[in-house]
Amino acid sequence: MPIGYAIPVALLAFCTATAIVAPRPPHTTPSHWSFWVTLQINELPFVGIYILVAISALAFAQGDLDSPGGLEVLGFAVLTVVGLAVLIERALRTPAAFGLTFGRRPWAHILLAPTVKRRRDVALVRNIPYGDAGKHNLLDVYHRRDRRGGGPVLVFFHGGGFRMGSKNREARAMLNQLAARGWVCVNANYRLAPASFPDHHVDGKKVVAWVRSHIGEYGGDPRTIIASGSSAGGHMAAMLALTPNDPAFQPGFEGENTAIDAAIGFGGYYGRIAGPGSSPLDHIGEAPPFLVVHGANDSLTLVEDARDFAGRLRAASSQPVRYVELPGGQHGFDLYYSLRYSYVIEAVAAFGESVRQPPSS
């Protein structure tokens, strides 16, 4: 048995099988083993195929396939490629989930450079302070280099359960792609544990206040501000949408306009993080338009909770509430420029255009 060939094949086979079966805990949880096992293979199945082809070619060159054990391992490698094709097929069902028609995929980017997020036509201004909490009150601005002006604004908050994470992690592919289309995107840090509720959401309000005062310097139009976030960041975006200008979250800047025009959640957590009042569900009522996007196989923030949130919001608000489940989607699907995420980015752009104010004449 060629052990050096068998071990990586077995690891890839296990991760792929877990992604296909998609085990989930009975309740939303901060951590679950299946998330860590499937996070990368679920979004980067093509990379898994590349690895299997490469190690199988190496095994052939070294004569490892001449033995019965080597052929058995090769058989497992072939079955794993079939499993990876299942993951690709699930990602290809994303357009149907949104009910939209998409153009040709940027296949070179998806297949060859899924970890590359930056674009040459987008400028990134880093670490702008918006508050007095040091590194936790810094934000980045993405804008077209020509600053042509009038672009809608997307404000993004990272995930991490209010305990970890930073603006240098998820959604950067989306922020660059939208900025290239003329949007101005803001990616913000906020206070984490040991800070507690409502500190995180006070920081979210401060970011919106900063945007209203300064985003025009970068070509943004503050008449259209969309808040978005992943996981805990989805909680932040929902709270911003459901507590417009609430003085309880604006100590010292109660007079600032912190209302937003729409909200987008990716794998969002919408439950309580402390006592009463700390959940978007505690503030359900009239709201701006919402887009709630959730992976059907999310093993951290369960899809059933997202369905419940969207259903309650739809019943309470007169504005559109769009709920989309991504076939095969896991938590953290926005870490890479994957096939699935390329569709999500275009859907976000379409949603943004549907809610933006027309450019000033």
Active-site positions read 231, 298, 331
b/e map 81-91, b = 16+ CB within 10 Å: bebbeebeebb
pLDDT tens-digit readout, 293-319: 999 999 999 999 999 999 999 999 999
- Amino acid 336: pLDDT: 96
Kindly indicate the confidence band of residue 263, based on its pLDDT and cuts at 50, 70 and 90. Answer: very high
Across 163-234, the runs of DSSP E, i.e. the strands, are 184-188, 220-230
What pLDDT is stored for residue 360 in this prediction? 61
pLDDT tens digits along 67-108 = 999 999 999 999 999 999 999 999 999 999 999 999 899 999
- Residue range 170-184: mean pLDDT, rounded: 96
Determine whether domain 107-355 maps to CATH 3.40.50.1820. yes
- For the chain, domain boundaries: 3-92, 107-355
Lowest mean pLDDT among 9-13, 66-70, 93-97, 347-351: 66-70
Select the more confidently predicted residue: 357 or 204: 204
Q: Is 176 helix (H, G, I), strand (E, B) or coil?
A: helix
Distances (CA, A) of 109 to 179, 197, 298, 308: 17, 40, 25, 36
Per-residue pLDDT averaged across 134-147, rounded? 95
Confidence band for 359, pLDDT divided at 50, 70 and 90: low
> What's the pLDDT tens digit per position in 29-64?
999 999 999 999 999 999 999 999 999 999 999 998
